[in-house]
Amino acid sequence: MGITNNTKAAPVNTQAAITTADKAPVDSSSGGFTKYRCKNFYTHDCQNWVYVNKAACASCLAAGLT
């Protein structure tokens, strides 16, 4: 239930994250957070970000895409 709501709200933050992280996606010095593309970015075109490299985002975990 809560996961579904977070999933719908995520794209708004993702857009800002892409703009900021586009220059240095793995640079933690810019924003204080190191973000990585969801592991399903290449295989499922997932647009979400994760804090652990090669991890699946909450949306993918909820969908069973681990």
Find the helix or strand (DSSP H, E) in which 38 lies: none
Q: Which is nearer to Zn ion, 29 or 50 (CB)?
A: 50
Closest separation in Å from C-beta 39 to Zn ion: 7
Closest separation in Å from C-beta 30 to Zn ion: 22
Please tell me the distance from the alpha carbon of residue 54 to that of residue 58, in angstroms, as a whole number: 13
CB 34 within 8 A of CB 28: yes
Please tell me the distance from the alpha carbon of residue 1 to that of residue 17, in angstroms, as a whole number: 25
Q: Which is nearer to Zn ion, 5 or 29 (CB)?
A: 5
21 in contact with Zn ion (CB under 5 A): no
Tell me which residues touch Zn ion (CB under 5 A). Answer: 38, 40, 46, 48, 57, 60
